[in-house]
Each structure stands twice: as structure tokens, then as C-alpha cells.
Structure 1
Amino acid sequence: MTRLPEAPAILEVRHAVRAWLARYEPAGAVVVALSGGADSLALVAAAVAEAPAVRALVVDHRLQDGSGAVAASAAARARELGCARADVVAVEVNGPGGLEAAARAARYAALDAGRDGRPVLLGHTLDDQAETVLLGLARGSGGRSIRGMADYDAPWGRPLLGVRRETTRRACCELGLEPYEDPHNADPGFTRVRLRTEVLPLLEDVLGGGAAAALARTAQQLREDGEVLDTLACRTLASARDGDDLVVDRLLETHVSVRRRVLRTWLLGRGAKALTDKQLRAVDDLIGRWRGQGGVAVGGGRPGVRLVASRRRGRLSAGFVND
């Protein structure tokens, strides 16, 4: 283990990493996603101090001039901190959903490909969790969208969800580390940046402080409740299945909060994509408000072909039909 100063901020980060490792990865062999920013730098330092085997992966998105040098510097810093290995992976950022979504997809794909079967620790903090909850509120798609990020959603581990961003910055100061400041993190063209720099500070001011912590706490409570409902839905789905179809009578008495989870899982398994609340409620009406209505088109398929859920002879089925 690497010896670090017994200073309050880095100790808080270490305790968070230690608790995560004890719960999810007692063997301690982990990969840390390193950007060079304060959150991931503090995470690398703490992980090296707490885990017997740490490898750092730095993803170079190649979106800015000099990004290769920034990535190489971050990898060198990881080796100085004691990582057994620190590798740079360059990616191409292209795809749907805008620059932010495309960069995220490329980053996660690279981390997954390079993790060698180990969990990947990400530097998401309590502040990131609060921002995620606010983004979910804007989507308005129910509890699932505002229960935030999990501390472990294999292979992604987030030990710092209870740690403030200001703490990781102070930890870097205590260690004499100068984190990289990504200019994208100050670009108001990104919604998350405006939440971070405008919305959350305003909430903290209006509510007298504690807004970020309250949002993160709410996310944790919703996640715990959601896990119970998801477990019930999984059992209900298994009992309602008849091949690829669902038997309506086996779902009639199921509470709607569980039933819609059943339908969501079933539809995703049949090829649905980007399900909306309106679509899910319309499919649920084929059970709870049956009036002989026709099928419901949901997201999925390809140009000229759509996925349709329909009821016939006491069964729900979902299949692709031509427009």
C-alpha cells in the first residue's frame, strides 16, 4: 500500500474507497478510469492506498488539440502514485445523441474493452449524483429516471457517491497534485455544466444549503425502493410468461407499479428501444383498461418496420410489423 498523508480530505476519500472494496471487491483488483481531473486523481490515489492491485485507464477522446499529451500526463501521474499499470486508449467520438452522449458511449466502450474482467472505478461524486437526479427530473419518466447512479452496477463502481466534489479537490491539494481542468466542464453549451454552475448553486442559495446532499439522498432511497419493485416484477414476469407472450389473467390483479415494470422488461426483451411513459401506459391499458382497442406501437424496429404490442385471446404479444 502507498503511504499518504493523514489529512482530512484524502482520508475521507480513502474511507469511501475502503468501504466500497470491502462490500463489492474484497480481493481489491480494480481498474480506475482516470481523466486527470480532481475526482479521478483523488480516486486513483485512494485506490492505490487501499487496494493491492490497481490499473489506471485513460481515455483520450481526441476532441481537443493536445489531448494526447494530457492523457499521457495523466497516465504518468497514475504510475507515480503507484498504479501497477496506466494505459492510454484513444477513441473515435461519433454517434447519435450529440457530442456529450457520443463521447460517453465511446469512453464506456473503451473502458469495458480494456478492463480485463475487473471492475472499473469511476470518480462520480455526490455532486454528480445530484446533477443526474435533476436531469432525470427533466425527463419526467418516473422513479427510475431520478434514482441516480448506483454505487455498483457491474462492472462500474462508484465509491465516491457520498463524497463532495470540493473534498476531492482538497484531497488533491493535500497530495500536492494539480488536476487537469477540462474546458468542456466550463462550457455552458452542455446542460450538465449549466446545472453545475447555475442551477445547483441557486438551489443551495434559495434552500439554505444541503440541496445537493438531499437530492443524492433521495436518489438512494428511490433506488432501494426500486430494487424491491424490480424484484417483484421479475418474479411476476416469470409467472406470467407463456413462451414469448404474457397471459393477461396472471397480470390483472398485479399492482400497476409492478405491472408496468413487468411490461417494460418484457418489451425491452422483445426489441423495444427508448420506451416512453405514454407508450408504456398505453400497453398497460391493454390489460387494465381493455376495451377491445388495437395494438400499441412502441420504440424499436428499423425504418419501415415497427414493434407493436397487441392483445388477442387473453394473451399479450409483441412483434415487428411493416408500416
Structure 2
Amino acid sequence: MPAQNLPARNAQQQRPRGRLDPTVGKARTMVGALLGLTTTGKHRPVQDPPLVLVGCSGGPDSLALAAVAAFFASRGEIRVGAVVVDHQMQPGSAEVAENTAETLRALGLDPVQVRTVELAHDGVGPEAAARAARFAALDVAARELGAQTVLLGHTLDDQAESVLLGLARGSGTKSLAGMRPRRGRYARPFLGLRRSETLAICEALDLDPWHDPANTDQAYLRVRVRHNVLPFLSAELGPGITESLARSATILGHDADFLDELAQAEFDRIAEICPGTQALPAEVRLPEDALRRLAPALKMRVLARAVVVLGGYQPSYERLVSAQELLERKGSAGPVQMAGKVSAYRISRSQSVPQDGPGYGKLVLRRGDTALHLH
């Protein structure tokens, strides 16, 4: 990997004092608003400031975010560290990760970790596998370092692409709602910022970001959406299409969050979770009658929640429909493969099943070969 294509300069030594670049100022305001910090006024250092981590690949978006976050660390209100995840998907990825880590340390971030991950595809594509491995690494780092917040550099353009991908896949409200500014420990302050603005921030701060060659590889659907579909829609429907798609995600996000809250309450009410390992339960049992009484939107979400609780991925609509057909005792007895090694099948009523057995009249979800039973 050419050294000149790697971030390597210290943003704190780049520009003489003077007028703040307006895009940098805008980005600081976004980060400050999400973290409850101010960009103006007297510095107010706090004793034992909380640690905020930045998930950084070295690309323009996450590098700009790291540089902006470093400003708040310099004020003493928070500590800012970073995690660089090496997915090992390209030759030279270890060098890219180490160069990125060096740049982040020069920006003043501490601690900075490089985490190398192995991708487990589990029947999903490379992008989904990389995403799962990346979040697993970030989760572990946050727990070990005691960070309550992890900042991610997704932009308004990423949000628009996610909405289009959700439409193309026939996804529901959850997918079309895209990414949330805040969910759990993860925060995305740049969802209102264009990708061109993160490049402008890097230029203003004299940073040299790494440009991932995968971002121009037309083999990836997201790349084709970025370079072919969105420009076409912009030409045909007007230049505001990216903002409109992102705005739709915000509106749908409120609906999805409300439905998720209702579904979580129903899951907590009806689910029986059997202990397993320290990390994952052994199984989840959902009473058949209680599931049938739920509205379709909640039923789907409760089924999906059970799969995720067992360590699987968010199931597709088609797989949820197949599981629901088992619930309705339609078609094949299975198995139906869910996502992430969770599968589903039905035990026929012609088989001898004890009426008072713990699984009778319930959907029993398990991870592995013996997975989802409908007694």
C-alpha cells in the first residue's frame, strides 16, 4: 500500500491560528450536540472525564470525525480514544491499520487500539460479515476500556444509500429507517453531513485520508448504488434526492423505534429464556397462542428479536414469513434456516409429544442443528 495514500500528519500542527473553517465548525457542533458538549465558552475540564471511542478506518469520514472529536478532548471534558479494525480483506490491510493508528495518536487520541478480526460469513455476504465482525470488535473494546459511547463516521450519503438498498431488497420499516443518530453505545453525529464535507474537513485540517479501493469496486451493490444509481436519480429527480431519502429515513425511524419498543415489551412479556453460556441463552420459547394474538408488525419483530437474542442476525422478511408459516402449521415441516445458525422446523402432531412438555404449544428457538421447534 503506497505510503502517500495513508493518513500520517498531525492535525494539531497544521494551520496557524485564524478563522475556523466553517465545515469544521459545523462538524464540531454536530458532535457536541450528540455528546451534550459545547464548542464555545471557557474550557471546563472535569475530573476523570468519560472515555469516548471513535471507530476509525482511516477513510475521510471516520478520520474527519476523529479529528473533530480530538477538539473536545483538548478541552478536558472527555477523553477520546479510537479502535481501528483490520478486516484482513485486502493485501496491506495491516499496514493501513497501523498507519491509521499512528495518525490518531498524533491527533492526541488515547488509547488507540488495532483489532484484527476473522470474518465468519455464516451464509451472508462479505459486507455483512465484515460489519458483524467490526461491531463485535468495537463492542469488546468498549467493554474492556470502559467507554459508554462509540462514535461512527456514517454520513448523510451513507444514510441515503441504506434507504435505497432497503427498497431494492424489499425491506420493511426497520431497514428503510436506516441508521439512527444514537442507538445503544453507538452514536453517528455526521448523519447530517455530506461525504464531500468530510473530505473538506480533511483538507482544512491537512489530513491525508486513506481511500479504500473497495469503495470503487462495482462488484459491491452499495458501490453501484453510490456511483450509478444515486447520480442517475439526482439527474432525473433533482439534486435534493439524497437529502430527501435521508429525511425519509428520519421520519420512518420514529415509527420503527415506536414499533420496536412495543415489540420488545411483548417479547419481555411472553418469552421464556433458558440459560445457556455466559454470552448466549440455550433457547428461547415463545407461546404459540400469544404470538398468534399479536399484530403482524409486532409478531415479525418478536420472532426477529428471538433470533437476535440467540446470537443470530436480523432475519430477512422471507425467512420471517417462513417461520410464521410454521406457526400457522402451513407447508413443509422445515427446517427453515434463519440467520446466523438459527434454524426452524415443525414437529408434526402425528408424532408423540408429551402435552405437558416444556415446549408444547410454543415456538422453541435454538442456535445450532436443533433449532426452532413447533410442538
Which band: TM-score by shorter chain?
0.7 to 0.9
Corresponding position of 1:117: 146
Distance 1:182 1:254 in 2: 45
Distance 1:272 1:309 in 2: 19
User: Can you give the 5+ residue segments of structure 1 that lack an aligned partner in the other structure?
Assistant: none
Distance 2:100 2:307 in 1: 43
Within 5 Å, which residues of 2 pair with 1:175-190? 175-190=205-220
Q: CA deviation at 1:301?
A: 9.8
Q: CA deviation at 1:144?
A: 1.7
Cα RMSD, aligned residues only: 3.6
Q: CA deviation at 1:273?
A: 6.1
Percent identity for Structure 1 against Structure 2: 39
User: For 1:9-38, what per-residue CA distance to the aligned partner results, in whole angstroms no more than 9, with x for missing partners?
Assistant: 111111111111119xx9552111222211
Decide which moves more: 51-60 or 62-71. 62-71
Instruction: Give the TM-score normalised by structure 1.
Output: 0.82
Matched, 1:298 2:351: no
Distance 1:237 1:322 in 2: 16
Q: Give the SS at the match of 2:364.
A: strand
User: Can you give the 5+ residue segments of structure 2 that lack an aligned partner in the other structure?
Assistant: 1-11, 38-45, 274-284, 350-354
Distance 2:151 2:18 in 1: 20
1:117 alignment partner AA: G
Q: CA deviation at 1:196?
A: 1.0
Matched, 1:43 2:65: yes
Q: Which of residues 136, 139, 142 is equivalent to 2:166? A: 136
CA pair 246-130 structure 1, distance change in 2 beyond 3 A? same
1:246 alignment partner AA: P
Distance 1:156 1:200 in 2: 27
1:256 alignment partner AA: P
Corresponding position of 2:6: none
Q: CA deviation at 1:238?
A: 4.2
Matched, 1:246 2:273: no
Q: CA deviation at 1:63?
A: 3.8
User: For 1:90-117, what per-residue CA distance to the aligned partner results, in whole angstroms no more than 9, with x for missing partners?
Assistant: 3444644343334333333333333323
Is contact 1:139–1:145 with CA below 8 Å preserved after alignment? no
Q: Which of residues 108, 113, 133 is equivalent to 1:87? A: 113
Distance 2:107 2:311 in 1: 45
Corresponding position of 2:8: none
The number of equivalent residue pairs is: 316
Is contact 1:236–1:262 with CA below 8 Å preserved after alignment? yes
Distance 1:134 1:148 in 2: 10
Instruction: Give the TM-score normalised by structure 2.
Output: 0.71
Matched, 1:67 2:67: no
Corresponding position of 1:77: 103
Is contact 1:272–1:307 with CA below 8 Å preserved after alignment? no
User: For 1:162-221, what per-residue CA distance to the aligned partner results, in whole angstroms no more than 9, with x for missing partners?
Assistant: 111111111111112122212121111111111111111111111111111111111122
Corresponding position of 2:128: 101
Matched, 1:308 2:341: no
2:133 alignment partner AA: A
CA pair 147-65 structure 1, distance change in 2 beyond 3 A? same
Corresponding position of 1:15: 29
